Structure 1
Amino acid sequence: MNDLVETWRCHLALDRRRSTHTVRAYVATAERLIAFLGEHRGEAITTELLGKIDQADLRAFLTARRMDGIGNVSAARELSAVRGFLKFTGGEEARVPLLKGPKVKRGLPRPVSPDEAVALAEDIAETAREKWIGARDWAVLLLLYGAGLRIGEAMGLLGDVLPLGETLHVTGKRGKARIVPLLPQVRSAIETYVATCPWPMERAAPLFRGTRGGPLSAAILRRAVQGARGRLGLSERTTPHALRHSFATHLLGRGADLRSLQELLGHASLSSTQIYTQVDAAHLLDVYRNAHPRA
Structure 2
Amino acid sequence: MTRADLLAAWHAHLSHGRRRSDHTVRAYGTTAARLLDAVAVDDWGALARLDAAALRQQLARRRAEGLGNASAARELSALKAFIRFAREQAGMPDPAPPRMRGPRVKKGIPRPVTPDDAVNLAALVADEAAEEWIGARDRAVLLLLYGAGLRIAEALALTGGALPLGEVLVVTGKGGKQRAVPILPLVRAAVEAYAAQCPWPLTREAALFRGAKGGALSQGMVQKAVARARAVLGLPPTATPHALRHSFATHLLGAGADLRSLQELLGHASLGSTQIYTRVDAATLLDVYRSAHPREQD
Aligned to 2:179: 178
* 1:219 equivalenced with 2:220 (yes/no): yes
Tell me the TM-score normalised to structure 2 length.
0.57
Aligned to 1:124: 125
* 1:248 equivalenced with 2:243 (yes/no): no
Aligned to 1:198: 199
Which secondary structure does the structure 1 equivalent of 2:171 belong to? strand
Counterpart AA for 2:152: I
Tell me the TM-score normalised to structure 1 length.
0.58
Counterpart AA for 2:138: D
Counterpart AA for 1:229: R
Deviation at 1:278, TM superposition (A): 1.1
How many angstroms apart in 2 are the aligned matches of 1:241 and 1:110?
A: 15
- Higher RCO, 1 or 2 (CA under 8 Å, sep at least 6)? 2
How many angstroms apart in 2 are the aligned matches of 1:231 and 1:144?
A: 21
Counterpart AA for 2:212: T
Which secondary structure does the structure 1 equivalent of 2:181 belong to? strand
CA contact (8 A) 2:161 2:205 kept: yes
CA contact (8 A) 2:159 2:206 kept: yes
- Show structure 2 runs of 5+ residues with no match: 1-109, 289-298
Aligned to 1:50: none
How many angstroms apart in 1 are the aligned matches of 2:112 and 2:186?
A: 20
Pick the structure with greater CA Rg: 1
How many angstroms apart in 1 are the aligned matches of 2:253 and 2:136?
A: 29
Q: How many residues align?
A: 177
Write the deviation string for residues 168-189 of structure 1: whole angstroms up to 9, x where unpaired: 0100011110000000000000
Counterpart AA for 1:139: A
Q: What percent of counterpart residues are identical?
A: 69
CA contact (8 A) 2:159 2:207 kept: yes
CA contact (8 A) 1:125 1:134 kept: yes
Counterpart AA for 2:115: P
Deviation at 1:280, TM superposition (A): 3.2
Aligned to 1:207: 208
CA contact (8 A) 2:118 2:244 kept: yes
Counterpart AA for 1:257: D
Deviation at 1:163, TM superposition (A): 1.5
Aligned to 2:229: 228
Aligned to 2:190: 189
* 1:169 equivalenced with 2:207 (yes/no): no
Root-mean-square deviation (CA), in Å? 1.8
Aligned to 1:35: none
Write the deviation string for residues 95-145 of structure 1: whole angstroms up to 9, x where unpaired: xxxxxxxxxxxxxx9631010001111110001010000000000000000
CA contact (8 A) 1:124 1:137 kept: yes
Counterpart AA for 2:154: E
Aligned to 1:278: 279
Counterpart AA for 1:144: L
Which secondary structure does the structure 2 equivalent of 1:180 belong to? strand
- Show structure 1 runs of 5+ residues with no match: 1-108, 288-295
Aligned to 1:112: 113
